[in-house]
Structure 1
Amino acid sequence: MQPRVAAFTDTYLPTVNGATYTVRTWRERWQARGGRMDVVYPDADYDPEPGEHPVASLDFPFYEGYRVAVPYVPRGVVTPDVVHAHSPFSVGVAGYRYARTHDAPFVVSYHTPTSEYVEYVAPDILTPPLERVSERWERWFLERADLVLAPSERTCEHVRDLGVATPTEALSNGVDVEFFAPTDAGEFRERHDLPDGPLVGYTGRHGYEKRLRDLVDAAADLDATVVFGGDGPARDDLEARAHEVGADVRFLGFLEREELPAFYSALDVFAFPSPVETEGLVALEANACGTPVVGADAGALVETIDDGETGYHFPVGDVAAFRDAIRRALAEVASLSETCLERREEVSVSRAIDQLEAAYARVLE
C-alpha cells in the first residue's frame, strides 16, 4: 500500500514555474499508482480538485506571481504517513508543524536557493544582510527535515555547503516524456508568424536573475531568429534592449502548457543563460523534444547539459562565447538532437516517481 502523503507548497497553479508543475505532476503520478497525495497551497484564481487545499494568501509585492499564505492546515487534509514540503516559507512551515503533530517523517524538496533572489527584491544596501538571514533560515528549516531531496548533485552540494547535516539526496523532478515529445511545429510557426530558417529560443519566467539580456545581446550577430516564450518583470527591458542592438528577437508572451512541445520542436537550439538553476527543467523538456540546449556553465546546468551530446556550455556572462556555442550547436543540431531523443527515458517523471517511492520507504523505516 502506498504511503499517504501531505504535500505543502508556497507556489502552485495557476502560477507557472518548474516547482508548480513538479508538485502537480508528482501528485498525478502518485495517485495513478494507487496512492494519495494531498496538496496545501496559497489560494489563487484556480479551481481546486479533491485533495487540493487552498489557504488564504496575499500577493507578494516584490516578486510577481508569488503569494504569501497564512501558515495553517485546512480541514480535510489527509492524515499523513509522510509530509513533504516544497518550500521553506509559510506553507512549508505549516507542513513542518503538521508532520510533528502526526509524528510523521518530514521530507523537504529544495527547489530554489532563496538567497540568490534577494538582490532582485531588495535595495543593494540590504542585499548582503538579507542573504545571510535567508541562508540561516534555510539552514534552520532544512535541519528540521528527516530527508532533503534536491533536483541535482550541484544543488545537493549547495545544501551541504549551507552546513545542513540532514541526509540529502539528488532526485530529478522528471519530465513527462509522453507529453514532451517531438511534434510537428508547422502550425505553431504559422500561428506565431515565425520566419523560415534557424530558430533559437527560451521559455520561462523573464526574471533578471535569468540573465536573459545575454541572449538578446548574443542575438545581435547571430544568423538566426531568437524567440522568447513566457513573461516576467524583465520583459520590457529585454524588448528595449533588442531594439537597441537591432537583434531579430520575437516575444510571444505567455504560452499555454499545451503549446510547449510545439515550441520546443520548432526550435533548433534552446538557449538558457541562467546561472541560478537548481535543475533547469525546461532544458530537460527541450531535450525530450529533441532540441539541444546551450546553457550557462553554472548551477545545475553543469550536469543537466552534456557537452557535445545534448548541447554545450558557455561561461556565465560571456556573450561572445554564448554566441559561439549557439553557432556550434546549430551546426551539429542533427547529431545533438539524436542523442537527446536517445536519453528521454533517463529524465522521465516515471523514473523520478520510482525514486521518490524508494525515498519515502526509507524515511518510513
Structure 2
Amino acid sequence: MDFTLLKTDVGSKARAGTLTLDHGSIETPIFMPVGTVGTVKSVHQRELREDIKPDIILGNTYHLYLRPGIEILEQAGGLHKFMGWEGNILTDSGGYQVYSLSNNRKIKEEGVHFKSHIDGSKHFFTPENVMEIQRSIGADIIMAFDECTPYPCEYGYAKNSMHMTHRWLERCIEHLKKVPFKYDYAQTFFPIVQGSTYTDLRKQSAEYIAGVNADGNAIGGLSVGEPAEEMYAMAEVVCDILPQDKPRYLMGVGTPINILENIALGVDMFDCVMPTRNARNGMLFTSEGTINIKNKKWENDFSPLDPSGMTFVDSDYSKAYLRHLFAANEYLGKQIATIHNLGFYLWLVRTARERILSGDFSDWKNKMVNQMNKRL
C-alpha cells in the first residue's frame, strides 16, 4: 500500500490524497458503498463499475462468514472473483455486527460467542480466527477485531473495552504474521481507535493506535446514536493525533453533511448504509436538499430526477415516474433511487477533493451544508 498526501486545505484540515492498492488507486476523500454480503443492494456490478465508479467498496466479515461461507469464497478464489468485482474491497471485521447482536452474544477476553441472526447457530469469533477469515475473503484492506461500545456508555465500561480492543489488536498483529496471503495480491491492515465519547480515552486510544505504525487507521464506535457534535469532537481529537501521512477511515458515517464536516476535520475514508437504505425508503439526497419521492407533490412533476445528477438515472427518469414506481411497489424504483444516491455520495466526495485541491473547500463546504439541510 502507498498513500500520498497531495494537499491540505488552508481553511480547514481537509486533505486530498491518493491511496494505491493492488486493485487500483483510490482518490481521497472517498466514500465506500456498502456491499455487506458481496453485493451493494439493488445495484449490478456493471452499474457500479461504469456509472457510479467507486474506487473501493465494503464487505462484511460477519455476514460473509455466515453465508456463503469461507469454503465457498476460497473455492471461488476470494470475494473479488466470487462477486465479479475487479476494484478494491475493504472488509469490516464484524465488530459492529457483534455489537448489534446485544441479545445474542457474550463478550469475553478470549473473544465473542454469538448466535447467528439467520438460524440461531452458535459461533465464536476471536482476533485470530477473524484474521484468518479475512485472509480467506481476500479484501484489499482488512480491519482489526474490536469491540464497538454502545451510546450512551459508562466511562468504566468504555475504558475496559478500549483496553481489550488494544489487547485484541496485538493478537491480530501477531497472528497475521503467521497467516500468509491466500491470493496473488497483498492485504493492508487497519487498527481501530475506540473510547466512546470520552476525550481522554479517545486520546489514549489514538496514541496507542498511532504507535502501532500500521499502513492506515480507522476510527470506530461513532455513529452509534451520539449527537453529531460529539461525533465531530471525537473525530477532531483523534485526527489531531493519528499520523498525517496515513489514511484515516471513519467507520459507518454517515449523512452527506456528516461526511463534509468530517472531511473538514481530516478524515479520508467513509462508509455508510444510509444512501442505499434511505433510497429503498424513497429518500433521495441531492445538492439542493433532500427529496421524499413518495410525496404527492411529485405526482405530476415530469422534470428529470436530478438535473445536476451524475448517473444515467438522473436524466433517464422523471420524478413523477419514480414516485409512480414507489406507489406501485415496483422494485425498479428502489434500484433507481439507490443508483442516484450512491452517485450523489461519490459526486460529493469527489467534488470535495476538487475543492481541496483548488483551495476553496471551506467556502464550498459551508454552502453545501446549508443547501443540504433543506427538505424539497
- Compute the TM-score of the two structures, normalised by the length of structure 2: 0.31
State the structure with bigger RCO (CA 8 A, min sep 6), 1 or 2: 2
- Compute the TM-score of the two structures, normalised by the length of structure 1: 0.31
